[in-house]
Amino acid sequence: MATAVKSVAKAIRERGLRSYLKELKEDGFLQTKIHNIGARLVGVDNIGNKYYEKLDAQYAFDAKTKEAWQKDLRELMGVEAWKGLAAMASDPEKPALSSLAKVRKSSGEIGDTQEPLLNGVHNSENYSLIAAILPFLFPALGGLLYGYDIGATSCATISVESATLSGVSWYNLSSVEIGLITSGSLYGALIGSLMAFNIADFLGRRRELILAALLYLLGALVTAVAPDLPVMVIGRLVYGIGIGLAMHAAPMYIAETAPSAIRGRLISLKEFFIVLGMVAGYGIGSLLVDIVAGWRYMYGVSAPLAIIMGIGMWWLPASPRWILLCAIQGRGSMHELKETAISCLCRLRGRAIGDSAPEQVDEMLAELAYVGEEKEATLGEMFHGKCLKALVIGGGLVLFQQITGQPSVLYYAASIFQLIMTGAAVLLVDRLGRRPLLLGGVTGMVISLFLLGSYYLFFDNAPVAAVVALLLYVGCYQISFGPIGWLMISEIFPLRLRGRGLSIAVLVNFAANALVTFAFSPLKALLGAGILFYGFGAIAVASLVFIFFIVPETKGLTLEEIEAKCL
């Protein structure tokens, strides 16, 4: 909000209040901006928070300027609306100004509806459950294909190294060459994450997912028909770039299109699809591992799924919030983009939305304008203000998600058990909230990691301790860091910085995954398994402190409320 106030103050000083408001009216922003300026002048925001008085010196709101502006604004807003703002300044317990909601304007302007409702009271998000599933399903196939690659590769490397079953003359591979095959998609995902930083906001979430599906298809086909190792590695890299783009765009698209009441459940279900893909990869790989050139079929299986994902994303509408972001940033006609957003929202919610789509879009627009999304994002803003806080929260979560031992410990766990526990998280995340699951799950991880370390150091004659510790770790991880890490990075970033912010978080995720995967064996040889698991346990304790003091609760909030209240 401070950024918005600063930009308004500068514009009014340069052009004059009446001229500035006339321009806002033409662009459809009059109602929202008048309220924000008026609220600023009397010292409150639209829900009665009295914090603007601290900004007087910085933005030159001296007594003379305030008096002049208040006179003009009383005239423009009307006596009743101005009295409402003044009443809130003297009594913050009063409800948000209702008289502003009565001010109506011509069709197509943001002011057609109520002021931003950042106090938890919103238009009912009516939706059809069947209609809401499809915008989740096709992006989630990107997670399924990622998980399938993990599972299938473990069997494909066995097949490609076999003298009798590989079907190639270059089967005699070194450990480095096998490493290139297994980690090729991971390095591709790092490249995809870097690409997403620059192309995400330009393409939009839907087109980024279509591009990811094309790369999945191309990578799968190149890998499956590879005549030699270099071509196979290129195919793995291309497939990995698809992973990076899909894991970046899928949580954003789901978060921006899902109803608030089930947003957590749907994004967590994407993690379920990743584990489901791993189970499918292991299963299909086991069936094909004894067939000549079976590794080609294992990788080729991804192709039809990639086609389904691409066709599904082509059919689905764009994210209404991304369209509205383009609108308020002047990247197209406000009226046309608003109508497009209404049409997309109707398709996403189904018939149950009735006639409320225009009202919901107006509310989104007003809230986006209120939290200051009008400016296009700059690189410098990524490391200041709200986005810096979001980076600390999101980057911290995905970093701890990996460096508490996940890539190594889960390697020993049964995928079917991971599937069951992820399903439990899906059912609980919108009921209990993010913080309780994170705090409870990570506490269980701490206990399990110290128990694993103690097994290797003191209880090596009691294997039941290792089994219990491993199951506890898997269960606790899959109801905490596993799904909620991806969920929160999709929620926490401001809209105009979400594409770039999420790309950094995804990059941190894959980079930390690669680091832990690479370092686990050398550290195990150097320190011993017991000390290494104790080290992971200590990091998990640090992550628990981080969650308790830094990570906010976002259950039940709209994405705009998260930006206004949690950052």
- The Cα 97–Cα 356 span in angstroms is 22
Are residue 398 and residue 293 in the same domain, yes or no?
Answer: no
> Mean pLDDT in the chain?
79
Q: Is residue 368 included in any domain, yes or no?
A: no
Q: What is the mean pLDDT of residues 155-176?
A: 90
Q: Is residue 29 included in any domain, yes or no?
A: yes
Give the model's confidence band at 459: pLDDT under 50 very low, under 70 low, under 90 confident, else very high. confident
- The Cα 417–Cα 75 span in angstroms is 66
Are residue 146 and residue 205 in the same domain, yes or no?
Answer: yes
pLDDT at 47: 39
* Residue pLDDT, tens place only, 56-97: 444 445 566 666 656 655 555 555 555 554 554 444 444 333
Lowest mean pLDDT among 10-19, 197-206, 214-223, 361-370: 10-19
pLDDT at 59: 43
Burial class (CB in 10 A: 0-12, 13-18, 19+), 106: exposed
Residue 510, amino acid: F
Higher pLDDT, 426 or 89: 426
Give the model's confidence band at 208: pLDDT under 50 very low, under 70 low, under 90 confident, else very high. very high
Are residue 296 and residue 402 in the same domain, yes or no?
Answer: no
| Model confidence at 232: pLDDT above 80 | yes
pLDDT at 7: 59
Taking the chain, what is the end-to-end CA distance rounded to the nearest angstrom?
11
* Residue pLDDT, tens place only, 323-357: 988 888 888 888 899 999 999 998 888 887 878 88
| Model confidence at 397: pLDDT above 70 | yes
Give the model's confidence band at 538: pLDDT under 50 very low, under 70 low, under 90 confident, else very high. very high
pLDDT at 34: 52
Q: Is residue 124 included in any domain, yes or no?
A: no
Greatest mean pLDDT among 268-282, 287-301, 376-390 lies in 287-301
What contacts 108, CB < 8 A, 6 or more positions away? 28, 334, 335, 338
pLDDT at 295: 95
Per-residue tokens: 231:
């071509």
Q: Give the closest residue to 483 by CA, choosing from 559, 432, 542.
A: 432
| Model confidence at 320: pLDDT above 70 | yes
Number of Cβ within 10 Å of residue 369's Cβ equals 23
pLDDT at 92: 41
- The Cα 557–Cα 553 span in angstroms is 9
> The CATH number of the domain where 429 resides is what?
1.20.1250.20
Q: Give the closest residue to 3 by CA, choosing from 408, 566, 563.
A: 563
Burial class (CB in 10 A: 0-12, 13-18, 19+), 105: middle
Are residue 463 and residue 521 in the same domain, yes or no?
Answer: yes
Are the C-beta atoms of residues 73 and 33 closer than 8 Å to each other? no
* Residue pLDDT, tens place only, 96-121: 333 333 333 333 333 333 344 444 44
pLDDT at 70: 60
Per-residue tokens: 261:
């009441």
pLDDT at 100: 33
Are residue 202 and residue 298 in the same domain, yes or no?
Answer: yes
Helices (H), 162-301: 175-203, 205-225, 229-257, 263-288, 294-300
Give the model's confidence band at 179: pLDDT under 50 very low, under 70 low, under 90 confident, else very high. confident
Greatest mean pLDDT among 48-52, 426-430, 562-566 lies in 426-430
| Model confidence at 403: pLDDT above 60 | yes
Are residue 182 and residue 258 in the same domain, yes or no?
Answer: yes
Q: Is residue 108 included in any domain, yes or no?
A: no
- What range does the domain containing 30 cover? 7-45+52-87
- The Cα 384–Cα 494 span in angstroms is 12
Lowest mean pLDDT among 121-125, 390-394, 527-531: 121-125
* Residue pLDDT, tens place only, 462-486: 788 888 888 888 889 888 998 898 8
What contacts 239, CB < 8 A, 6 or more positions away? 149, 184, 185, 188, 215, 216, 218, 219, 220, 223, 302
Which of 316, 333, 358 delimits the end of a domain? 316
Are residue 80 and residue 17 in the same domain, yes or no?
Answer: yes
Give the model's confidence band at 523: pLDDT under 50 very low, under 70 low, under 90 confident, else very high. confident
SS3 124: coil
Q: What is the mean pLDDT of residues 134-163?
A: 91
Residue 72, amino acid: D
- The Cα 449–Cα 246 span in angstroms is 31
- The Cα 299–Cα 94 span in angstroms is 62
Are residue 390 and residue 508 in the same domain, yes or no?
Answer: yes
Higher pLDDT, 524 or 77: 524
pLDDT at 333: 85
Q: Give the closest residue to 197 by CA, choosing from 378, 440, 50.
A: 378
Number of Cβ within 10 Å of residue 112's Cβ equals 18
Number of Cβ within 10 Å of residue 75's Cβ equals 11
pLDDT at 1: 41
pLDDT at 517: 78
**Helix-helix angle 30-42:17-27, to 10 degrees:** 140
Residue 313, amino acid: M
Percent of the chain predicted with pLDDT > 70: 74
H, E, C per residue of 75-89: HHHCHHHHHHHHHHH
- The Cα 84–Cα 97 span in angstroms is 6
Higher pLDDT, 13 or 370: 370
pLDDT at 57: 45
Higher pLDDT, 30 or 489: 489
Q: Is residue 147 included in any domain, yes or no?
A: yes
Which of 316, 336, 361 delimits the end of a domain? 316
Are residue 276 and residue 388 in the same domain, yes or no?
Answer: no
Q: What is the mean pLDDT of residues 192-214?
A: 91
Are residue 406 and residue 547 in the same domain, yes or no?
Answer: yes
Are residue 135 and residue 81 in the same domain, yes or no?
Answer: no
Q: Is residue 264 included in any domain, yes or no?
A: yes
Are residue 386 and residue 502 in the same domain, yes or no?
Answer: yes
Which of 281, 299, 316 delimits the end of a domain? 316
The total number of structural domains in the chain stands at 3
Give the model's confidence band at 235: pLDDT under 50 very low, under 70 low, under 90 confident, else very high. very high
Are the C-beta atoms of residues 524 and 533 closer than 8 Å to each other? no
* Residue pLDDT, tens place only, 123-148: 456 777 777 788 889 999 999 999 99
Q: Give the closest residue to 274 by CA, choosing from 149, 438, 367.
A: 149
Q: Is residue 485 included in any domain, yes or no?
A: yes
Q: Is residue 366 included in any domain, yes or no?
A: no
